[in-house]
Amino acid sequence: MKTPNRILLIDDDEDDGYIFDAALNDVSGRHELLYYRDSEQAISRLSDKAFPPPDMLFIDWNMPKIDGNQCLQIIRKIPGYDKVPIIIYSTSTHQQLQTEAQKHGASYFLAKPPSIQELTEKLGVLLDRDWQSASDVQE
């Protein structure tokens, strides 16, 4: 798989979105980050047939309205999103949540790291990964 350059983040916390973008820029300045703070708006956009699927998608688990679990399930049902790597990105690290995410089609569960440096390292690993031959992995 080519290096992902269209990355979509769904996270209601604007500060986390800013930190994610900064870490992503440290890893690779050659990307397009599509950021949605509202899961309903993101799902509406992803459901638009004229909108090409991103190369990789990150979803926060704890969100209002439609939480990460529901969001994941809805997105996996959208045509063209069955093979897109979807990473759950959350402060919650309970094993039950990770199991639930994997059961509903998450490609990976990434705990939000405490520092931008650690996030940069983890994003570097995830962006370099061959998702087509990798099995589901939990952090």
For residue 131, name the pLDDT band (cuts at 50, 70, 90). confident
Quote the pLDDT of residue 120: 94
∠ CA 87-19-132, nearest 5°, is 25
Check if the beta carbon of residue 9 is closer than 8 Å to that of residue 58. Answer: yes
Tens digit of pLDDT for each residue in 28-76?
A: 777 889 999 999 999 999 999 999 999 999 999 999 889 999 999 999 9
- Give me the mean pLDDT over the 3-17 stretch: 90
For residue 137, name the pLDDT band (cuts at 50, 70, 90). very low
Domains of the chain with bracketed CATH: 14-132 (3.40.50.2300)
Given the structure tokens 């500060």, which residue do they identify? Answer: 15
Quote the pLDDT of residue 2: 56
Reduce the DSSP state of residue 88 to 3 states and report it: strand
Please name which of 66, 59, 103 lies closest in space to residue 84, comparing C-alpha atoms: 59
Kindly state the helix (H) or strand (E) to which residue 56 belongs, with its residue range.
Answer: strand 56-59
Check if the beta carbon of residue 93 is closer than 8 Å to that of residue 122. Answer: no
Tens digit of pLDDT for each residue in 11-39?
A: 999 999 999 999 999 987 778 899 999 99
